[in-house]
Amino acid sequence: MKWIDRNNLPEELKNLPDSSFESLHQEDIKDEKFQTKPVGFFRDAMIRLSKSKVSMISVSCIVLIIILALLVPNITGYSFTEQNLGNKNLPPKIQGLEKLGIADGTRVLENRKKDALSDPDRYPEGSVLEILREFDSKGVAMVDVKVDYYKYVGAEDNRYHWFGTDYLGRDLLTRLFQGTRISLMIAFFSVLTNCFIGVIYGAISGYYGGKVDMILTHVAEVLDGMPYIVVTILFMILFGSGMVSIVLALTITGWIGTSRLIRSQFYRFKGREYVLAARTLGVPDLTLIFRHILPNCVGPLITRVMIAIPGAIFSESFLAYLGLGIKAPNPSIGVLLADGQKVLLQYPYQTLFPAVLISLLMIAFNLFSNGLRDALDPTKRGEE
């Protein structure tokens, strides 16, 4: 910028009106007022969260699945335990969609004797839809034939199984969402117990510090050292299968992470002036812990809970694969997956639906907890 000589002003500056140079006596200059109302930490975090599209989509996805889990088993008209051996392994059939050729309850039967097609006992009226391939095997005429499987097994005309049935003829739609209900309950309760134990343990450890802390930390460390899977399996064998034992088995080592988090938060906050001030005023320990320090842990704790839920869902399915899942006839997503896996190549739909559901749940929870973490910790924004 060129420097202006004050004794030799350029025209445009010389002719500025005198009024321009009137002093505006600003007696009282205040710090800029905020236009908006003050926003609390959690409100702020929620606002940030609601601005994240991914988080909103995932949370809607979670809510939708929860609603379905609560609703579907009651309105399908089938019970999740109702067996119907005549109608086993039925493919999906959905009203409306059947006309489009998807989920129309048809199956291709391979290597069937051609002669049998005309036998109404084996192929009831109208069950054979299309002969896909005719061939000869050792002098016998064989066919691959597309049948209306519902008619083929002699099911009533108005019978619809949206997701098909399993090897005992149970409706898979009902079972899938009943299973979701159970899996979510297991996840919820195990995370709840983890938090409960973890918070108390961590709070004691962090608040009292010193020897108490040292001993508690060492105990937790030793427990944590044991391979998670091994401990869980051993406990499941000990407790026997069932929902309560799964929750317990997931708790055995699951609480340690929470307690560690709470402990470090306590270490951060117990030395703060406001806590010291409250202490000198004679506020009892419990009040200090619960009213003054613990509220600071809520943010990280929520994030942790959201990360722990998909972990618990995963562990439950994992145990189901090992035959340590929930007791029959109760389904869980894991049990359905493990059952479906056994007939994967013959009836892929039995694996498909639980697989899609567990994937959706896991993705939604992971994305949501990412979003939540970013919202609660704005400094981490944009990372990961």
**Interacting residues with another protein (CB under 8 A):** 1-6, 9, 13, 16, 18-27, 29-32, 221-222, 225-231, 233-235, 237-238, 240, 310, 314, 317-318, 321-324, 337, 340-341, 344-345, 348, 351, 355, 358-359, 362-363, 365-367, 370, 382-384
Phi-psi domain of 271 (left: phi exceeds 0; alpha: psi -120 through 50; beta: other): alpha
Amino acid at 328: A
C-alpha 210: how far from its chain's center? 38
C-alpha 162: how far from its chain's center? 23
Residue 178: name the closest of 364, 356, 329 by CA. 329
- Minimum gap (Å) between residue 221 Cβ and another protein: 8
Nearer to another protein, 29 or 85 (CB): 29
Nearer to another protein, 286 or 328 (CB): 328
Residue 113: name the closest of 87, 146, 136, 130 by CA. 136
Nearer to another protein, 165 or 351 (CB): 351
- Minimum gap (Å) between residue 285 Cβ and another protein: 29
Phi, psi of 263 (to 5 degrees): -60, -45
Q: List the structure tokens of 99.
A: 């006309």
- Minimum gap (Å) between residue 74 Cβ and another protein: 27
Nearer to another protein, 295 or 348 (CB): 348
Token pair 């050792």: residue: 138
Nearer to another protein, 31 or 121 (CB): 31
Query: In angstroms, rounded to a whole number, what is the distance separating the alpha carbons of residues 228 and 236?
Result: 12
Nearer to another protein, 172 or 294 (CB): 172
Residue 49: name the closest of 248, 311, 302 by CA. 302
Amino acid at 73: P
Q: List the structure tokens of 262.
A: 């709470």
Residue 123: name the closest of 149, 99, 158 by CA. 149
- Minimum gap (Å) between residue 324 Cβ and another protein: 6
- Minimum gap (Å) between residue 321 Cβ and another protein: 4
Nearer to another protein, 23 or 36 (CB): 23
- Minimum gap (Å) between residue 354 Cβ and another protein: 9
- Minimum gap (Å) between residue 356 Cβ and another protein: 9
Phi, psi of 248 (to 5 degrees): -65, -45
